[in-house]
Amino acid sequence: MNPDLLARLRDIHVTPDLGWWPPAPGWWLLALLLLALLAWFGLRLLAHYRARQRRKQMLAWIDHLNATVDPQTDPQTYLSTVNRIFKLVALRAFPGQQCAAMAGPQWEAFVRSRMKNPQSAEPLKVLASGPYSPAPGFDPDIISALTRQWIRRYG
């Protein structure tokens, strides 16, 4: 061996450290997936919040109705407002059922069939004819409780 050639050799050198930027494609994919998951979760949380606010507002509407309208002196107004509440909730909860066109016994049967306990929803028969009857007989406390149950379940 030629000592001159050995003297010209350099020592082993280490490559410089890799920087942290830009990240590898797998990290970009993971970040995108995490961002999509956070957006989905945020939208679900927002929808839940809005539904809760809507329920709260409708329950407050019932409280206001009970405070302002006397069912004994003005039963038609009371029942038509309760019927409107049932309709609004049904239109949102059952969009493909054509709830807006239902009236009378068909509407009453639709509401009763979707109640938790259809036998206890017997007083809702007054929704079919009560707003148009001159003297409908009903218990406002039961109607109010059933309306609250309807809102909590489907509102």
What's CA 117's distance to the chain center, in Å? 22
The pLDDT score that the predictor gives to residue 1 is 61
Q: What is the mean pLDDT of residues 7-18?
A: 82
Residue 136 CB: number of other CB atoms within 10 A? 17
71-130 pLDDT tens trace: 888 888 898 899 999 999 999 888 888 888 888 888 888 888 888 777 777 788 888 877
Answer with the residue of higher pLDDT: 14 or 36: 36
58-70 pLDDT tens trace: 999 999 999 999 8
Phi and psi at residue 66, to the nearest 5°: -65, -30
User: Torsion angle, CA of 103/72/66/146, rounded to 10 degrees?
Assistant: -50
Prediction pTM value? 0.74
Residue 131: is its pLDDT beyond 80? no
